[in-house]
Amino acid sequence: MLSREDNDLLTRVDAGTPLGELFRRYWIPALLSEEIAEPDCPPVRVRLLGEDLVAFRASDGKIGLLGEHCAHRGTSLFFGRNEECGLRCIYHGWKFDTDGNVLDTPAEPAGSQLKNKVKHTAYPCREAGGIVFTYMGPRETMPLLPNYPWLGVPAAQRYIAKSYLECNYLQGLEGDCDSAHLNFLHKMFKPDARREFLHLTDRAPDFEFDELDCGVRAAAMRTLADGASYARISHFIMPFIGAVPVGSMVDNRLDGFKAVYQVPSDSVNTWRYDFFFKWSRPFSQTDSSKRDFVDAGYKKLRNKRNNYLQDRQLQKSVNFSGITEFLNQDACATESMGAVVDRGKEHVGASDAFILQVRRFLLRAVKDVQAGKPAPGAIFVAEHNDMSHLRFEAAQLPANVSWRSLYEKP
């Protein structure tokens, strides 16, 4: 369990909070590139770390992420005109560029210097892997955008499922770092050859951990009937990425995996980005059922207001939860805890070992940044920006072979 003080420390993300300041030391997803696909397209509202923002793609293709409310009188720039390399407020015509500079104040007298005295809130943006990332921290501590392997795959070989969670980010992140729930929440009553973990007989995995600069690597070990072991190797990566092995095997190696960003919209709501990809081939429609589970605003069609359309007959005969689709099952488990779960009331066990490691890492990271130390895993030198070691494996291994052998260089 966590004390109330530590629980607050790990869940409150607004500007000025210790965790909020930590998260602002990283490049984090703001929205999908497809949401502002064309220059001069309509702007999009973004709520991130408790701040109301507006994203737009200017005429020259540059992306701006601005404070939503105009610096003049506070009208929402969501309604603004995206034109001629700037976003213009519809109230008095003030125009802002992607850096937050005021380009024009047409309602002011000729010769007015007001525009030169105002700087609007603006955050730098970078695009990679179909995601627009932003950095919301001090410019002097801005790191490089990490060169994660999943961001470099061709567009045809990836798919991103974005959805809205009505709970604190940590509940989602802890779900991503919880291998034990796979045998229950996602269990199906008939074998599924694509997901052998759904019908493993060993339901209580043992855990082994390696701490990395950027987070924690965890191996969930299950014993098979022949005495061999089945290893599922996941990662927690700062600041809120849970990466898990999914997909089919090609040449006895997992053909891709999934990286999940649990991005705090604020302290009680989260934007979840599931980044799926294949190493070997294009990502097809049949590879995922996750394309049609949200509406046009990325809100889940199955949600807490309709009880996730749980089917009690389905629960008796088809799957453990009676809820269709993995992400809906995850959402039910995490959202039904409440907006921010009170971890002082929980009773954790051996199956929770990974999430306890994650909490310790996050608490130490918060306190390190408070003490003036660099954010763990932040990269400032290009030569250090090789993330190829972040691979998330699933493998059957002989009894005398360690899972760490999967990470040994040939």
Digit-coded pLDDT (tens) for 179-238:
888 889 998 887 654 454 444 555 678 899 999 999 999 998 888 877 788 888 999 999
Give strand ranges (E) for 10-62: 27-32, 44-48, 51-57
Among residues 116, 141, 166, which one ends one of the domains? 141
Q: Residue 247 maps to which CATH number?
A: 3.90.380.10
Residue 16 lies in a domain: no
Q: How many domains does the chain have?
A: 2
Which pTM value belongs to this model?
0.93
Q: Residue 33 maps to which CATH number?
A: 2.102.10.10
Q: Which residue has the higher pLDDT, 318 or 291?
A: 318
Residue 321 lies in a domain: yes
Same domain, 132 and 255: no
Other C-beta atoms lying within 10 Å of the C-beta of residue 107 = 12
Find out whether 243 and 237 touch, Cβ atoms under 8 Å: yes
DSSP secondary structure code for residue 198 in this structure = G
Find out whether 214 and 365 touch, Cβ atoms under 8 Å: no
Among residues 94, 116, 141, which one ends one of the domains? 141
Q: Which residues pair with 83 in a beta bridge?
A: 86
Residue 13 lies in a domain: no
How does strand 27-32 pair with strand 95-96? Answer: unpaired
Question: What is the rounded CA–CA span in Å between residue 342 and residue 401?
Answer: 40
What is the residue range of 46's domain? 28-141
Write down the pLDDT at residue 224.
81
Question: What is the rounded CA–CA span in Å between residue 127 and residue 273?
Answer: 15
pLDDT in tens, 117-166: 999 999 999 999 999 999 999 999 999 999 999 999 999 999 999 999 99
Same domain, 122 and 202: no
Same domain, 384 and 250: yes
Mean pLDDT of the chain: 92
Write down the pLDDT at residue 137.
97
Same domain, 215 and 120: no
Same domain, 136 and 164: no
Same domain, 339 and 374: yes
Amino acid letter, 60: D
Q: 54-58, 220-224, 249-253, 323-327: which has the minimum mean pLDDT?
A: 249-253
Same domain, 222 and 251: yes
Residue 14 lies in a domain: no
Question: What is the rounded CA–CA span in Å between residue 146 and residue 29?
Answer: 12
Q: 52-61, 204-213, 253-262: which has the minimum mean pLDDT?
A: 253-262
Tokens of 351: 């199956």
Among residues 100, 120, 141, which one ends one of the domains? 141
